[in-house]
Structure 1
Amino acid sequence: MHIPLDFFLSIRPALFNLCIVFIFFFKKPLRPELFDFHGVQMIHYFTDNWEAVQNFQARPDDILIATYPKAGTTWVSCILDLLYFGQTSPERQTSIPIYERVPFLEIFIPSRVLGVDQAEKLLTTPRLIKTHFPVQFVPKSFWEQNCRMVYVARNAKDSMVSYFHFDRMNTVQPEAGDWKDYFQRFIKGKMVFGSWYDHVSGWWKKKQTHSNIHYMFFEDLVEDTGREIDKLCSFLGLSPSAEVKKQITGEVQFDNMKKNSMANYSTVPVMDFKISPFMRKGKVGDWKNHFTVAQNEEFDEDYRKKMKDSTLQFRSAI
């Protein structure tokens, strides 16, 4: 929308202010464009603060939660926050949204959210920090400090579907477009944070030589949340009581989190819940409601080629 400056100069101040308000609230926001960044498809909201992110000073007790987008990041963030602070600071759960308790390290939206600043200001011990970076983008201080890292992976088909609906409703992501085109984009890795295949495989390979990475699967969490919390506790050296673990398991059930305004991202203005909620279904196998038979055959053939040398095993149904 282009409005000549002369128009504004010719109207009364009150009407001028009304026009500004109208444009601010009703003009459709511009979506960012994908571009190649060190071999990975990215958008500027995650690269504009690159130097500060790369120079971030991790502490030995920091815990980094890493995922490809829409793989259970918020789920595991809430679990860890409850494990560490649910008993000592229960008010956090009802007064501070999860994206402030667990800052998104690389995000940079001027005047709204600066992930590095949020992480540096955290007063908790440990600091819980999340990232969607592929493993090669993680700031070197996390490796130098031998920080514990929790990586969550989700099967590719459900990842694609969940990411599609997320891109539809999140105005700081590129336009989703129609499902058919999105399907092809995902296969080609034309997604923010790059190829799903490269992401899950890169972190899996790093885990083989880095003992402080705990690699989890979304499908396992759905199947038996309590069992996976036990594994997390073992990795982190935590020993909560059976009662506390039962309480946490109940609080992080999908339906409970979806209704929780401090966990469901309903307070984030860039997300349009009229299009789709941030927490949509949280199930394994929803891809069957989106993939055509032809798409499923095409995907499976491409998947076999790209993952033929990997020892990673995913379940697209449980």
Structure 2
Amino acid sequence: MSEPATAPEEITIPEDWEPMPIDPNYTAPGFRLLKYCGVTLNNVHLQWGITKSLEQFQGRRSDVIVASFPKSGTTWLQEVVWRVTHHQPTAGEKGPKTCLEYRFPVLESQPQEKLMDMVSLSDMTDQRFIKTHLHYHILPESVKTSGAKVLYVHRDARDVCVSFYHFSRMLNIYKYRGSFADFRDNFMRGEIVHGPYREHVQGYLEHSDTVLCLTYEQMHQDRGSVVRKVADFLGVSLSDADVDDIVKNTSFEVMKANPDTNFRQWEDSGLVSGTEEGTFMRKGVVGDWRNYFTEEESEAFLKWRNEEVAPLN
């Protein structure tokens, strides 16, 4: 992946996209937040032609799609899904193309095949495993009508906010340099990439009759149960030994040490900077929000989180 090459003033913004006020806390050259169908995206999504990609995408019954709001446990669930369906960490030999980016192409970033020598989603002939951070209402209609299996993971919003803050500081196409309080307030206003948050979670939970909805906290507390739910949902038969092996090999510690899952290649490529913020897989804990929210701030944030919101469509 690469940094955006076009400065904001050079972008032609279509009528169905809305420019958002420039936030000086994002210090990467050319970075700009934009709104599309009620969702906050950015200039990279626009430059990569996300609307055209979504229009052209054709879902297949055999597709398996892992969805989430960023920093909610996506990588963790992806690896669980892969091991459930393959009964092993990767197919074939180890190497650059066994990392999650190759095993789970990103739905909204299809140009990555040009940047990373990947096969496009449309050209894949084997079963496709796909990752997305898109809101449910802007997923291609064929995802919803094809019989594709969609799994969604969500997390305590306070931990999501903290993790996304650090990630936004690490990611070199963002280079966020505001305070945590600034970021938290933007998070609550939906002025962060893939916001608004509450509507994102609600959109998937409202379709839990067809979407398998899991939580980060469940994966911490009883990953064996989660593995079995995933297997049942995907129609995969696992032995107790299989479940135990998957649980063992999807611990945070094992995945952080595994080059196929720790995204260290993002540091090597310059996409993220391994600074005091940590690495792509930072802590993997429940409750880190306590180090960032006062009791009053936590109560106000939870009150906001639990308010009813109108669905996006």
Runs of 4+ deviating beyond 6 Å: none
Matches within 5 A, 1:1-318: 29-30=28-29, 32-47=31-46, 48-49=48-49, 50-87=51-88, 90-91=91-92, 95=96, 96-107=98-109, 111-113=114-116, 118-125=120-127, 127-173=128-174, 175-207=176-208, 211-268=209-266, 269=269, 270-274=271-275, 275-306=277-308
Q: Give, in angstroms, the shift of residue 255 of structure 1.
A: 0.6
Task: Give the whole-Å Cα distance in 2 for the aligned partners of 1:176 and 1:233.
Answer: 41
Taking a change above 3 Å as real, the CA distance of residues 155 and 114 of structure 1, as seen in their structure-2 partners, is farther
Number of aligned residue pairs: 277
Tell whether the 8 Å contact from 2:83 to 2:89 is kept in structure 1 after alignment: no
Distance change >3 Å, CA 221–CA 31, structure 1 → 2? farther
Q: Deviations over 1:113-171 (max 9, x none)?
A: 598x532344432x110100000110111112121100111111011011111111111
Q: 1:258 to 1:89 in 2, by over 3 A?
A: closer
TM-score, normalised on structure 2?
0.81
| 1:151/1:203 contact within 8 Å kept | yes
What amino acid does structure 2 have at the position aligned with 1:298?
Answer: A
Does the C-alpha gap of structure 1 residues 276 and 298 become closer, same or farther in structure 2, counting only changes over 3 Å?
Answer: same
Question: Over alpha carbons, which structure has the higher Rg?
Answer: 1
Cα deviation, 1:92-120, whole Å, max 9, x if unaligned, reads: 666511111001111256752598x5323
TM-aligned CA deviation for residue 45 of structure 1: 2.3
Partner of 2:19: none
* 1:39-92 CA distance string (max 9 Å, x none): 111112234322122221111110111101111111111111112224496436
CA distances 1:239-288 after superposition (whole Å, capped 9, x unpaired): 12211221111111001101111101110220112342111111111100
| CA deviation string 1:176-209 (max 9, x = no partner) | 52111011011111111111101001111122xx
| TM-score normalised by length of structure 1 | 0.80
Q: CA RMSD in A?
A: 2.4
Alpha carbons of structure 1 residues 184 and 261: separation in structure 2 relative to 1, 3 Å: same
Shift of 1:301: 3.1
| Percent of aligned pairs with the same amino acid | 27
Could you tell me which residue of structure 2 aligns to residue 314 of structure 1?
Answer: none
CA distance in 1: counterparts of 2:117 and 2:110, whole angstroms? 5
Secondary structure in structure 2 of the residue aligned to 1:112: helix
Q: Is the CA contact 1:45–1:108 (under 8 Å) kept in the aligned structure 2?
A: no
Contact 1:133 1:193 (8 Å CA) reproduced: yes
Provide structure 2 residue ranges, at least 5 long, that are not aligned to the other structure. 1-26
1:264 counterpart SS class: coil
Corresponding residue SS for 1:249? helix
Identify if the C-alpha distance between structure 1 residues 70 and 262 changes in structure 2 by more than 3 Å, giving closer, same or farther: same
Separation in 1 of the partners of 2:294 and 2:226?
Answer: 32
The answer on whether the counterparts of 1:31 and 1:173 sit within 8 Å (CA) in structure 2 is no
**For structure 1, which segment, 296-305 or 106-115, has the greater mean C-alpha deviation from structure 2 after superposition?**
106-115
Q: 1:137 and 1:193 mapped to 2: Cα distance?
A: 11
> Whole-Å Cα distance in 2 between the matches of residues 135 and 90 of structure 1?
30
Residue 41 of structure 1 aligns to a residue whose secondary structure is strand
In 1, are the aligned partners of 2:65 and 2:131 still within 8 Å (CA)? Answer: yes
8 Å CA contact 2:33, 2:40 repeated in 1:
yes
- CA distance in 2 between counterparts of 1:87 and 1:195 reads 36
**Cα gap change, 1:282/1:89 in structure 2, threshold over 3 Å: closer, same or farther?**
closer
Deviations 1:10-54 (A, max 9, x none): xxxxxxxxxxxxxxxxxx952621111121111122343221222
Letter in 2 for 1:165: H
